[in-house]
């Protein structure tokens, strides 16, 4: 989009804070887009972040001031479309330059109906979110009074089943892409908002049947899987009791591995509590320590909720976040179950924790050997 086509816009938070900028992307209805403001600290990977279904219900602020410089392409989508409510940046690149680019970031926003705002003092906004916690907000070309009213009416992500908005409507299969001398392992993957990078990792282990979030345990067991995977996804694990019930019925009958929301659902299924963090973890540089070995990985993260470290039920902690002590991994003694809060598949981010997919593969192969 050229400079002359940009429209004056504003971002207004529920606490009354006002930020002036320029509208980018799609024009929202009545000139207002609202959602829960969060910030992400990655330096690259903006397309993967925008298309991660875990951001449903949220407006993404990038702390990196320069966004869009290498464009976008079809290969880097993490889902069928963006599910976030909007995008906030300091400076949207006016020209993109990369041999893989097929379009601009602004083109992507317009194509999928995602509104955005540029020219925002994202340093000030990030400090405000960090100090006060995630806040509802609204932005667009409407009046400040209208934006403030929309921000204060925005419910945020608490108590909302966002998984139902992003899960696949029908089962589908991702074929085995690895090398094997015998029968490929069979994995059933629950889609709570699954990322394509995760599916690529799982397909190196076996054939993957992806099923909707509300699929029952009986249905899953009827597919005779060697293991079950629980994906990432948006929102509060307390408002998806159907998922918790199904996972509770699967534990003890089949190996289970969970990432992010899947990790939280495992926790609740074995009696743990979950809590909302003040502003969540969203970025690609979070240090995580494995308690058994002392190994530290730099990890990719995207979550607003976490397992309560003092209310673990039958689970025990395997990993902790070195920034704030948040529970980053669980196992259930006596069961073939483990999970991590961070994203070992990255997409974007570092790949140091990718061995957890190897651990899952080993667990499955031991069960069929």
Active site amino acids: 260, 343, 345
Q: Is 264 helix (H, G, I), strand (E, B) or coil?
A: helix
How big is the chain by its Cα radius of gyration, in Å? 20
Half-sphere exposure of 183 (CA within 13 A, CB side): 9
In 3D, which of 293, 20, 313 has the Cα closest to residue 147?
Answer: 20
CA 126 to chain CA mean position, Å? 19
Task: Count other Cβ atoms within 10 Å, centred on residue 237.
Answer: 27
**Cα separations (Å) of 240 from 12, 147, 167, 192?**
31, 31, 12, 10
Half-sphere exposure of 62 (CA within 13 A, CB side): 25
Enter the tokens of residue 364. 């499955």
- Report yes or no: 189 and 107 within 8 Å, Cβ to Cβ: no
> In whole angstroms, what is the distance from residue 8 CA to residue 137 CA?
17
Q: What angle do CA 47, 235, 272 make, to 5 degrees?
A: 130
In 3D, which of 85, 281, 79 has the Cα closest to residue 194?
Answer: 79
Q: Is 200 helix (H, G, I), strand (E, B) or coil?
A: helix
Enter the tokens of residue 137. 């907000």
> In whole angstroms, what is the distance from residue 308 CA to residue 258 CA?
16
Task: Count other Cβ atoms within 10 Å, centred on residue 182.
Answer: 7
Which H helix or E strand runs over 357? helix 355-368
Enter the tokens of residue 85. 């409510």
How deeply is 111 buried, as exposed, middle or buried, from its count of CB atoms within 10 A (0-12, 13-18, 19+)? middle
């Amino acid at each position: 989009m050229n400079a002359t086509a940009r429209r004056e816009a504003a971002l207004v938070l529920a606490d009354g804070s006002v930020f002036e900028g320029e509208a980018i992307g799609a024009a929202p209805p009545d000139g207002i887009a609202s959602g829960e403001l969060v910030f992400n600290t990655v330096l690259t990977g903006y397309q993967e972040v925008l298309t991660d279904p875990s951001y449903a219900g949220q407006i993404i602020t990038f702390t990196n001031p320069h966004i869009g410089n290498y464009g976008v392409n079809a290969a880097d989508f993490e889902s069928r479309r963006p599910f976030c409510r909007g995008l906030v940046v300091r400076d949207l690149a006016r020209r993109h330059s990369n041999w893989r680019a097929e379009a601009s970031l602004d083109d992507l926003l317009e194509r999928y109906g995602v509104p955005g705002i540029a020219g925002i003092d994202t340093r000030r906004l990030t400090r405000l979110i960090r100090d006060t916690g995630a806040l509802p907000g609204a932005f667009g070309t409407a009046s400040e009074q209208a934006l403030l009213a929309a921000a204060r009416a925005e419910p945020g992500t608490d108590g909302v089943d966002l998984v139902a908005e992003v899960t696949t409507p029908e089962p589908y299969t991702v074929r085995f892409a690895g090398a094997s001398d015998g029968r490929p392992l069979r994995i059933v993957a629950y889609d709570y908002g699954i990322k394509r990078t995760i599916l690529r990792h799982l397909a190196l282990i076996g054939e993957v049947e992806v099923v909707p979030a509300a699929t029952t345990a009986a249905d899953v067991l009827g597919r005779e899987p060697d293991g079950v995977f629980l994906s990432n996804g948006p929102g509060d694990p307390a408002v998806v009791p159907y998922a918790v019930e199904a996972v509770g019925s699967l534990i003890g009958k089949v190996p289970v591995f969970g990432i992010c929301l899947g990790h939280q659902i495992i926790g609740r299924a074995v009696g743990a509590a979950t809590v909302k963090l003040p502003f969540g973890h969203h970025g690609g540089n979070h240090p995580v320590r494995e308690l058994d070995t002392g190994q530290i990985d730099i990890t990719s993260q995207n979550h607003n909720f976490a397992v309560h470290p003092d209310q673990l039920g039958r689970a025990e902690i395997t990993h902790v976040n070195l920034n704030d002590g948040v529970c980053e991994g669980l196992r259930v003694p006596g069961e073939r179950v483990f999970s991590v809060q961070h994203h070992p598949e990255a997409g974007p981010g570092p790949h140091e924790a990718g061995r957890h997919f190897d651990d899952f593969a080993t667990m499955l192969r031991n069960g069929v050997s």
